[in-house]
Each structure stands twice: as C-alpha cells, then as structure tokens.
Amino acid sequence: MAKTVGIGITGGIAAYKIAELVSMLKKDDLDVIVIMTAAATEFITPLTFRTLSGREVLVDLWDDSREWKVQHIGVAEQLDMLVVAPATANFIAKAAHGIADDLLSTVVLANTSPLLVVPAMNHNMYKNQAVQDNIRTLKEYGYKVMEPDSGALACGVSGQGRLPEIGSIYNEIKKMLYPLQDLRGKRIMVNAGTTCEDIDPVRFIANRGTGKMGIAIAENAVDRGADVILVCGNSPLETPAGVKFVPVWGAEEMCEAMLKYQPACDIIIGAAAVGDFRIKDMAEQKLKKSDNQSEELTLTLVGTPDILKTLGKNKPGNQIMVGFAAETENIIANAQKKLESKNLDFIVANDVTMEGAGFASDTNIVTFISRSGEIESLPKMSKQDVAAAILDKVVKLL
C-alpha cells in the first residue's frame, strides 16, 4: 500500500522549492498531504500544492473536517512520516516547546510517525543560541534535523542557512520511510514485461505479461537501497522511479542487454514473460490481405534464446540468479527442471490457472524452490508482497 507523507511548509522564502519535492514524491506513488502555515501561503499558494499533491491543502485549524475525527488527529493518524520544510526559527521554537497554535504545530504534537525537520533561515538567525538550543531539543525528542547548506541566502548575504538541495531532502525522506536498506551497495538486474517479435512493420507477437511482477521487484529493490537495472519489454506500466531503465523489444535484444550488464550485477531476477519463438523472416512491408477471406497465412517461427539459461552459463559463483516458472501442471517437478537447466539459485513457481495468480493479476500465489531442495509455499498475496518475500530470500543467500 502506498505510504503517506505529510509535508509541513512554514513561512520562509524556500517554501517555493517544496513544489519540486512534492512532485518528486508523487512520482514515487506516495500519498502526500500538504499542511501549510498561514505565513507559508504568503510565499506560495495552496493551489500549487493542491495541484501537485492531488489533495486539498490543509491550512486552517478551524476548517470543518469532512471526517468525524478532529482534523489534526485524523491527519496525524494517516502519516507514515512527517516532514517540515522549510522549518522557520518560529516553527522550531514552537515544536521545541510543545506549542500548538495552528494546524501544523498541532499535527506535529499529535504525530507519532518519524519527523524530519529541515531548517532554512538567515545565517545569523540559524547561529542564534536560542535557535541552536531549540534544534538540540528537537534532536533530543528523537526528531531528525537536517543541516542547512551554506551559500548565498535570499537576504543577500552568504552563510549557513540555505535549504538543502531538494534531492538530499528526498533521499533523507526515502531513508526514513524505508529503513530496511539491506540491499545497499548491491546491483540487481530485473527483467519485466513481455517481449515482442515483429511479423511486419506494424504487427507483432507478444503475450499476456504486463510487467507487474518484475516492476514490483525493481521498486522493492530500490526501496531497500539497491542499484537497480530494469530491462523491460512491452509494459503498459509507468517506469518506476530510481531505476536505470533499459527498454527493449524482442527476446534477442533483451538477451543482449542482459549479457552486457551481467558482469556488473550481484543479483539477476528474470520476471519477464519472454517469448519462446520469433518470426523467421520478418516481412519488410506490411502484409496485405486478399479479397479471399479464407486465404491462409503461414508464419514460420524459430526459437529465441533462453535468456536465463544463457546468463546461467556465464554466471560467476557469487552471483545470485532467480527465475520464474509459470506452470499449468506438475508445478514443482517442472519448476525443479527449470531451476537446474537455467543454473538458478531459486525459482518462483506459480500455477497460472489458479485465480489470483499469474499474468496481469495484482496478486500471486507462489512457491519458492531452492537449489538445496527446500520448498516453501506462500499464501495468496499482492505482487508487492511477493516481491518483498523474493528479496528477503535473496538477502539470506547473499
């Protein structure tokens, strides 16, 4: 389920920069609730954030909430984390002393999720003993406080007080939202989607693969700190944020791309629905039909490379390779054969005839079969949860 991030904006000139942050978080499919102080609305309008976050922007403590719950409690309960950026000296002082005199400071008190405070102000204000004491207090409360950057300030002088780069705030948010960083420093290549084989310049053969499973794995790996290469055939889904995206068309192109990146990878997961055949001779011009409706057209197919088998032959000893086996009968025995022939560390088998499993579905019902012979069946779960379970198993093997 998408996580919910509260973005509190207080009245500093850097408020306008938060538009970019909200936009980046939304691209990650996070749910963003923007809460502005009255002073912040003097610098940038709530309309900007309403448009970017796709939600009503909250400003007034006394607004009539549509929910039965008091607004500040209702909002605080939804949050997986709260960020206050820019945080003015005034906000920091209020938060350090438990003052709750507007919606944002009240939400801060009611909030129990991790809190990130990003101060930005004039350098003399930032150095002021009272401000520094208040920041220390916030840290003692367990809040994470980012250091402002040094450089030119809006007031015309230079010093420490600039809002950190939006990219740094974004990275800090991701680290706090996803504390499990067990794939940091690892490079993982995932393939996803369906391969397509051309018949003529406008027609092709593909299959029912949508990319949901592979993309869920890529997203989970990014959240866990991995460096992710997503080699993707045809898929109607959006490219996930934070991956190196390598779009491909046919099985041969997918195989070449994966062979190129294989030596740099610690982990390879083959979740793509790779076509086993391609058209032997693609027509150079669009095939024409005749007036005779009963005319027959014969297409000659030839095999495509088995990508995982090819990669399996080149596999260095410390590389972990995982494949999928979509089966309709004799699931375990067929999957075991594939595990061996493709030189995999484990295989994720599923019975695609079962409801809630296989292509296009949002859920999957899978069994892990390891090289050691261990068999582990998981209940029906979302493809996101299956992705997390696969990577949990990979981490154990690393």
Which residues participate in catalysis according to the annotation? 155
Specify the stretch interacting with ligand C5P by CB under 6 A; choose among 92-100, 122-130, 143-151, 268-276.
Answer: 268-276
**Which residue carries 């088995």 as its tokens?**
306
| CB closer to ligand C5P out of 85 and 189 | 189
d(CA 57, CA 117): 19
304 binds ligand C5P (CB under 6 A): yes
The CA distance from 171 to 162, in Å, is 17
> Which range touches ligand C5P (CB under 6 A), out of 161-169, 287-295, 303-311, 385-393?
303-311
- How far out from the chain centre does Cα 258 lie? 21
**DSSP per residue, 309-342:** HHHHHT--TT-EEEEEEEESSSHHHHHHHHHHHT
* Burial class of residue 156 (count of CB atoms within 10 Å of its CB; 0-12, 13-18, 19+): exposed
Binding ligand C5P by CB under 6 A: which of 24, 216, 272, 365?
Answer: 272
- Pick from 92, 325, 390, 394 the residue near ligand C5P by CB under 6 A: 325
Residue 292, CA atoms < 13 Å, CB-side half-sphere = 4
The residues that bridge with 144 in the sheet, in sequence order, are 116
Interactions with ligand C5P, residue window 213-252 (CB under 6 A): 251
Is residue 306 close enough to count as binding ligand C5P by CB under 6 A? yes
387 binds ligand C5P, rule: CB under 6 A: no
Name the minimum Å distance from CB 347 to ligand C5P. Answer: 8
Distances (CA, A) of 58 to 21, 91, 109: 17, 16, 16
197 binds ligand C5P (CB under 6 A): no
User: Least Å distance between CB 277 and ligand C5P?
Assistant: 9
Our CB check for ligand C5P shows the closer of 272 and 391 to be 272
- Residues in contact with ligand C5P by CB under 6 A are 251, 270, 272, 274, 276, 304, 306-308, 323-325, 338
